[in-house]
Amino acid sequence: MTDSEILKLNLKGRVISEKRLIEIFGTPTIMNNYKKNGHFIRNDKYRLMDKAKRFCNIVEKENKQYYISDFYNNPRPSNFDKMNKELYQYICPLILDALVNSKEADEKRKCTLTVGLWAREIQMVNYNYEIIKEAGIKKIENEFKIRYNTYYDFYNRCDEAIDYYIIQALKYLYSAGLIIWRDVYFVQPVTPTIEKDGEVYEKKEKPKVRQATEDEMKFYAKCVEIADEKANITNAKERYYSTKASCFRETLIKELNKGGILYIFKSYEAYYVNRDRCKAVLDMFDVSDNILDNFNAAFIAKLATNADARKLQPKFKANDNYIDEFLSLCDMTINNKTENLEERINGDKNGIE
């Protein structure tokens, strides 16, 4: 039977035979194998039950009987198990929730966010993540006694993990037929200047961010080429997650500015395909009231486990406090209950300006 034919059946509260189960959910191969052998062979039963569980809550009884306690109005996605493992069990429902319940999604059926903003939107990290990242190592070293190597290692690893998990979650949701998404590049033009009495002033009104044109993307590609050569970049990862990243970033910004561009950034535009279907799948996740606490704890645990495996590397071995410093950064930037540290870092409360 096709998915639409299966959905038309009224099987809730019914007990059905194994033969009927195969008629409803079996593929031609499974049907032929069962008819020929009189029983399941190889992994046919697993495949059959896996498909059945997409449509209903089913329990095997005695004497080849199966009880269906509930029948879903919308079938569970075939890749639901993947979406319900590890960090994805938190990221996928939080993305769906942000997408179908946001004002922008209500008006335009989409959300447009950078990976960093997606991470903030679903509270994968907290408000301190960007504050500490932008503050610079000197302030963080003075205020929190966290060393250079730990600071850069944390942000390199965390940025990379955020990028990987969010992109993979978007791919899972796309594969399930729930969303479509794409990369979109945006441009922040430099603020125009005016000359008055021999002095050059920036105009008060900053140009709005807009989507990059084809010519600007060509120019951007040329700027990346120049920055790659200057920083001796050999692969894309080195541009953002290596000791060469600083040189690459400075050169890229300088080249972009020559063309009237302050910076270019990549965003991810996601559209829901069917809002009711998205909401139905969202309800399939076991989302508890403390989902954010569990999500934060799981993300920190994954980062900490990987950090523990690196602590014996030469660049960290000399720092006995590497793990403590790393965990401190995790708590400050990921834990959703951590206080806002902006005033402490950027205010004059502690003599920091």
Question: What DSSP string runs through 163-220?
Answer: HHHHHHHHHHHHHTTSEEEEEEEEEEEPPPEEEETTEEEE-SSPPPPEEPPHHHHHHH
Distance (Å, whole) CA 249 – CA 112: 24
Q: State how far the alpha carbon of 111 is from the alpha carbons of 95, 104, 142, 169, in Å.
A: 10, 6, 38, 15
Q: Which two tokens mark 59?
A: 């329990």
Band of pLDDT at residue 351, cut at 50, 70 and 90: very low
At residue 60, the 3 state secondary structure works out as strand
pLDDT digits (tens, 9 = 90+) for 126-180: 999 999 988 888 888 888 999 988 998 899 899 989 999 999 999 999 999 999 9
Say what the pTM is. 0.80
Both structure tokens of 118: 């997606």
Cα 59 versus chain centre, distance: 34
Interatomic CA distance for residues 261 and 158, integer angstroms = 28
What is the CB-side half-sphere exposure of residue 112 using CA atoms within 13 A? 13
Query: What phi and psi, each to the nearest 5 degrees, are found at residue 326?
Result: -65, -45
pLDDT at residue 194 above 90? Answer: no
Mean pLDDT of 13-34: 93
Q: Does the pLDDT value for residue 46 go beyond 90?
A: yes
Q: Is the pLDDT of residue 330 over 70?
A: yes
* Residue 349 reports pLDDT greater than 50: no
| Statement: residue 195 has pLDDT above 70 | no
3-state secondary structure of 112: strand
- For 259-283, the DSSP string reads TTEEEEEEEEEEEES-HHHHHHHHH
Mean pLDDT of the chain: 88
Nearest to 342 by CA among 38, 128, 139: 128
Q: Would you say residue 104 has pLDDT above 70?
A: no
Q: What is the pLDDT of residue 106?
A: 65
* Alpha carbons 217 and 24: distance in angstroms, whole number: 52
Task: Quote the percentage of the chain above a pLDDT of 70.
Answer: 93
